[in-house]
Amino acid sequence: MFSSLNNKPFLKREAFLKKAAFLRKAAFLTLALFLSTGLLFVSCDTDGGSANTGFIPLGEWSDAYGSGYKITNSSFEYYTASFSPEYPGENIKGNIREAVDFPQGAGVLLIQIASSSAGITSGKFIGVYYKDYTTSHVFLANAVDASYATIVKDILAEAKRTFNVDNVGTHVTYWGSGYNK
């Protein structure tokens, strides 16, 4: 009579169902973990969190030698000091067509030339790199080639391909002491 209370097949079935439920939950949680981890990696910013904001180092920047830059939201002017009639200095004016940020307070301005005493044809494009920007000091440099001639591009798309974070070391050979406001 009491032997019916000790029903071993029923106990085995109940243990099996508990184990199956546990395994289903474990499988579901493992799948959820893999999916959420995968989504996390897919949605991560792969460039270290640097977003291109189109930042422009606005202001009138000058160095100790009488050279400088005047930069507004849309216009650009670069000038060098006039030392004598043989070295009258140069002046380049243009419009900022695009501003591209790099990490750590650096970037490049893509300038379409409006006028130039340096022999750059109006309508062409140059790149002006900057780094270590603060509100009172910045390093600025026109992109130059190995012979120190300003690099000039015909169209904006070509300028974008040329003047970028990968080419700063090639286009800027000397940053100087920087420019102050």
Residue boundaries of the structural domains of the chain: 2-43, 59-180
Return the pLDDT at 18: 63
Of 90, 93, 95, the C-alpha closest to 67 is 90
Q: What is the pLDDT along the chain (181 residues), one digit of tens a residue?
A: 555 555 566 556 666 666 656 656 655 555 444 444 444 333 333 444 446 778 999 999 999 988 999 999 999 999 998 877 777 889 999 999 999 999 888 999 999 999 999 889 999 999 999 999 999 999 999 999 999 899 999 999 999 999 999 989 889 988 888 999 9
Two structure tokens written together for 96:
């900022």
Q: Rounded to whole angstroms, how far apart are CA atoms 2 and 68?
A: 103
> Distances in Å between the alpha carbon of 45 and those of 14, 51, 115, 132?
49, 9, 40, 23
- Long-range CB pairs of 112-118, under 8 A, 24+ apart, other chains included: 112/156, 113/152, 115/91, 116/90, 116/91, 116/92, 117/88, 117/89, 117/90, 117/91, 117/92, 118/90, 118/91, 118/92, 118/150
Two structure tokens written together for 86:
């043989």
Predicted model pTM: 0.69
